[in-house]
Amino acid sequence: MFPIVLLSVFAVVLLFLGFLKSRSVLLPATLLFLVAALVANFLDWNKTYLYFNSMLRTDNLSMVFTAIVLLSSFLVVALSGSFEDDEAAQPAEYYAIILFSLVGAIMMIGYENLVMLFVGVEILSVAMYILTGSDKRNLRSNEAALKYFLMGAFATGIMLFGMALLYGASGSFTLAGIASYASHAQQGLSLIFYVGLLMLLVGLLFKVSAAPFHFWTPDVYDGAPTIFTAYMSTVVKTAGFAALLHLLAASFTYVYSFWGIILAVVTAITLIAGNVTAVYQNSFKRMMAYSSISHAGYLLIGLAALSAQSRQAIVFYSLAYSIATISAFGVLMLVTRQRGMQTLSSNPLSNESFDAFNGLAKQNPLLGLAMATSMLSLAGIPLTAGFWGKFYMFSTAVERGQIWLLVVAVLMSAVGIYYYFRVIIAMYFRDGATEPIRISPVFRYVLVAAIILTIGLGVAPGLLQGLF
Amino acid sequence: MLTLALILFPALTACLLLLTNSGTTRQLAFGAALIETALAIYAFSTFTPNATSQFGFDYPWIPSLGIRLSAGIDGISLLLTLLTGILVPLIVLSTFNRAYERPGTFYALMLFMQSALMGVFTARDGFLFYFFFEAALIPIYFLAAMWGGANRIPVTFKFFIYTIFGSLFMLLALVYLYYQTPATTGSAHSSAIVDFYKLKLSASAQGWVFWAFFIAFAIKMPVFPFHTWQPDTYVESPTPATMLLAGIMLKMGIYGLIRFILPVTPIGIETWGQTAIILSVIGIVYGSIIAIRQRDMKRLIAYSSFSHVGLMAAGVFSQTETGLQGALIQMLAHGVNVVGLFFVADVIYSRTDTRQLDQLGGITRTTPKLTVYFMIIMLGSVALPLTNGFIGEFLLLHGVYSYNHYLGLAAGFTIIFGAVYLLRMFQKAMFGPTTARTESFADLTLSESWVFVPLVVLVFWMGVYPQTFMKMTEPAVANLMKYIGTTAISMK
Amino acid sequence: MQPTQDVLIPEVIQQIPLTYYLILSTVLFIIGIIGVLTRRNAIIIFMSIELMLNAVNLLLIAFSSYKSDSAGQVFVFFIMAVAAAEVSVGLAIIVMIYRNTRSIDVGLLNKLKW
């Protein structure tokens, strides 16, 4: 709860800092604010509170999710140094919007009432529409913003209709009220309850880009400025899954037999759609978009099983995924900036293709290592955090006995290795004739931190245990 | 604690090697590998020949899930840790006449590989085993794909995808087994391998668990028809990587068969074991026949290795004590021989720039040392009595024969065919008229000779007095047999 | 406020069965969905989305008065406020696109593969 208050205040402060002549104060200030919020987040540690007339709740699980979201945004913001040099950029606004959007994300994590879920989703989404379109003169960015906006608003409408139906059936917007209504599942529930649940799920699955509601994702991720793509694909996804997990675990465990199989099918479709399509991409950024769809699929395994392990599994997976994704996008930004200058005349898309990474590891061992670590982690190879993420996910499904789903997931992991390794092959085994890329110190710290976190969690996954 | 040292020491020195990039890197790597050898030999000599797991360590890893960092050496692991300990310094030594780009990374990857291999062979926890099983793949992939031949990228990628694909199924099976284990203190389940042994699985569950494991290990070894990655990868990899692959890494597959499939799924073997043996025997014959037709030395050795591994797998699936014992001994012997053979190919290639048998010949004239060593190792591979190959293959064939006479007979072709293609290779390369490429063939240098000496000593030691090694494994094998027997009977 | 009025409004609403409200708002909602999926003009798509939201509002108010529970009506205020914020951002995006392309036809936006 403290982070919500702090971040709201800090965001306003940041807007005022934007009046200053010097832009160089913005980045450190934002990082400082994020650290402050992260510290404040843990003030309630080991206690469970309800805030604002039982609208929001903090417990260890929500604090851990909040911490992941804050950590991800810290890393993303740290990588955003290039705004200082860009005349057209408005870093004060961007940072303020990021902080505001975090408020929404935290509301999605800790809501106890569907109103808060709705408000949280909207704060986060509206902020994302703006950030997606922030490159105003770039038509690709414009287009992505419009698509994201129209699709997002559409999904919100569906979600709201679902909420209204749930309210009509159960007479309450609180999770506890809905749960107590659902607990009479034996006597039979009204039809609108099930329809409402389904529509609410569709709305949320839309936000986390699960198939078949994923078609907006590649375009939006591709068109948005890379730094905000990194933000979207980590923070929005983590918050969305925290919201889904909380919703299903708190209110709908009684009707698992209804939605369990639906989610399992959605999971399988998501895994197949994400992984298979990613194979055919030539642009790294677009590949990452499809990869993010496929990771939504892996995260959904934990939801579709909703077993005792699910909380832990989703926490671990979203952390591993966020770190790896941010460092991958960080390297991509450096590569496109460098090689984009060289190939200005040619197709602007080409500097995001896999070929842009050719020989990278020889010129820049650190960039190569950071990218390789995150690709290995995303592919779920042991020694990296991603492996344990997948491991936890698979165990939840085994606990539920969904072996068929696991077989799909395993086959798709093998497919995933194919496209993640294209990057590694390009970096390590192919030759590219370019001079080394200059890396600013902040980038270096972030990438090293990401490598250490990924491998550290991969070797000692027990570290996160007992946190919640 | 000794096990912990065996696993950690190479990894730590590898981290140091990453920082060096000078001419002394390989000496450092060699020194580190020698220390590891000393540790492995010490473990071997102080090992008490019984069925217990020794020198172990045991720490919590993921406490809430009951997954532990637990490893130790028992009779089945012992020979493989010894093999890993002995071969790696020889492989490092074999590179002394070559200059590899970025030596720091090169040797560090080799030592990382050694760490992971030690971990695979000693792990007592199912997930720790899987962890190392996969972790071993990454260094070898980079070794092969960075320093390999012209066609290395697609070939090694195929290898990587293949093996990862197989082991994902193993992960499925492990997770499944884990959820079948009863509660232990502090957690709901246990992932200790010995707890997997105690499971009483239904016949259908054993069936699919068997296949999940079998595919993983069969790809690793490889067994027919999962072998298509192997010849190309062996040929395209730099020779040190090939030696690691053929000498040690494929033993991971056999080891997995013995460690997991035999004791965990006895009914699965009863149902499907015959299929597995038939596949293995097909591999033996098929590999041999193809090996006879090969002109490229490295490819020939690759197919011979494929054929020999089939025999080991068949011996394990025969479920006889002699078959198991033979597989354990033969793993050691095969590791020694195949590394020797690949090194011969490498020595010849480094001097003549070719591995094509047609372009070789008459090397014996100038190379007494190479000829003798090559001959001894080749005869070891052919399984001549008094060499190391004989005792292992004899036991294996005995095992397969007592399982099924016809299959045993078919498997026996391995010796005949082996003699054909190996002698042919030897004769084509070493005798006959010299060619333009072999005219000024220089004999072995000092460092090259020192690679062969320990190998040749082992060939004779194991051939003349195998008791040194057999007595270490016997109690563990007997113990394992007891497991197979009891579980199978209690299920009926 | 007079207590009689409090009772009065729900009574007026309840003269029509709840199912009718449900059907009406579902129909409105579906019209909205069809509009989003078939129209190509960004503004019209946008209006269709607003129609969907208003269908939800109607439904919430109906439920709220039938249950004599104020929570549903409070939610409507939230939706209206948030929708206003969304409109402002959405129109800004559309204006931005119009400046760059002189068109608001979503069919012309094909720089990215759909």
Contact C56 A160 (CB under 8 A): yes
Q: For chain A, give the longest Cα–Cα distance.
A: 71
Using alpha carbons, list the distances in angstroms from residue B261 to B120, B207, B252, B309: 15, 11, 13, 17
Percent of chain B clearing pLDDT 70 (strictly above):
98
B62 membership: H or E segment, kind and range: strand B54-62
The CATH number assigned to the domain holding C69 equals 1.10.287.3510
User: Can you give the pLDDT at residue A434?
Assistant: 67
Expressed as residue numbers, the domain containing B342 is: 2-491
CA distance B419 to B427: 12
- Lowest mean per-residue pLDDT among A114-128, B143-157, C79-93: B143-157
The pLDDT value recorded for residue A65 is: 93
Of residues A347 and A405, more confidence is placed in: A405
Is residue C2 predicted with pLDDT exceeding 50? no
The whole-chain average pLDDT of chain A stands at 88
Interface list for A 390-429 with B (CB within 8 A)? 391, 394-395, 398-399, 403, 406-407, 410, 413-414, 417-418, 421, 425, 428-429
Identity of the highest mean pLDDT range in A111-120, B178-187, B235-244: A111-120
A420 exposure class (CB count in 10 Å sphere: 0-12, 13-18, 19+): buried
- Angle (CA) A114 A116 A119, round 5°: 110
| pLDDT for B197 | 85
- Residue C73 domain flag: yes
3-state secondary structure of A55: coil
Of the candidates A115, A160, A219, which has its C-beta nearest C114's C-beta? A219
**Tell me: the pLDDT tens digits for A218-249?**
989 988 888 999 999 999 999 999 999 999 99
- Using the predicted structure, report yes or no on whether residue A465 has a pLDDT greater than 80: no
- Using a CB–CB cutoff of 8 Å, tell me whether A30 touches chain B: no
Give the chain A residue whose CA is nearest to the CA of C54: A157
List all chains that touch chain C, counting a touch as 3 or more CB pairs closer than 8 Å: A
Separation of alpha carbons B216 and A329, rounded Å: 33
**Encoding tokens for residue A83?**
């705004």
pLDDT at B407: 85
For residue C64, being part of any structural domain is answered with: yes
Mean local confidence (pLDDT), A45-73? 89
* Residue C48 scores a pLDDT above 90: yes
Instruction: Judge whether residue B486 has pLDDT over 60.
Output: no
Residue A213 near residue A206 (C-beta atoms within 8 A): yes
In 3D, which of A175, A121, A165, A128 has the Cα closest to residue A148?
A: A128
Residue A348 domain boundaries: 2-464
Find the residue in A nearest to C61 (Cα). A164
pLDDT at B189 over 60: yes
Segment B215-240 shows an average pLDDT of: 88
> Which residues of chain B does A410 touch, with a Cβ-Cβ cutoff of 8 Å?
168-169, 171-172
Q: Among candidates C71, C47, C81, C61, which has minimal Cα distance to A119?
A: C81
**How far separated are the first and last CA of chain A, in Å rounded?**
17
Residue C1 has pLDDT above 60, yes or no: no
Question: Binning pLDDT at 50, 70 and 90, where does residue B492 land?
Answer: very low
How large a percentage of chain C has pLDDT more than 90? 48
User: Which chain B residues are Cβ-neighbours of A413 within 8 angstroms?
Assistant: 168
The mean pLDDT of B379-407, rounded to a whole number, is 87
User: Where on the phi/psi map is residue B320: left (φ > 0), alpha (ψ -120 to 50), or beta?
Assistant: beta
Distances in Å between the alpha carbon of A306 and those of A198, B112, B305?
17, 38, 47
Residue to substitute from B67, B105, B171, interface A, most A β-carbons within 10 A: B171
**Backbone phi and psi for residue B62, each to the nearest 5 degrees, phi listed first:** -120, 90
Determine whether the interchain pair B169/A410 forms a contact, defined as Cβ–Cβ distance below 8 Å.
yes
pLDDT digits (tens, 9 = 90+) for B42-76: 988 888 888 788 888 888 888 777 888 889 888 88
For residue C91, the model assigns a pLDDT of 92
Domain span at residue C51? 3-104
Q: How far is CA A219 from CA A229, B406, C100, C114, in A?
A: 11, 62, 18, 6
Suggest the residue from C25, C60, C102 to mutate for an interface test with chain A (most A CBs closer than 10 A): C60
Q: Do C75 and A126 touch (CB under 8 A)?
A: no
Task: Please state the domain count of chain B.
Answer: 1
| Mean pLDDT value across residues A452-467 | 82
pLDDT at C110: 64
One-letter amino acid at A466 equals G
Cα-atom radius of gyration of chain B, to the nearest Å? 21
Position B384 scores a pLDDT of 85
Contacts of A425 in chain B (CB under 8 A): 145, 153, 157
> Per the structure, how many domains does chain A have?
1
How many domains does one find in chain C? 1
Q: Please, are residues A153 and C90 in contact by the beta-carbon 8 Å criterion?
A: yes
Residues A141-198 pLDDT 10s: 888 899 899 999 999 999 999 999 999 998 899 999 999 999 887 777 888 999 999 9
B64 touches chain A (CB under 8 A): yes
Answer yes or no: is C114 within a domain: no
Q: How confident is the model at residue A342 (pLDDT cuts 50, 70, 90)?
A: very low
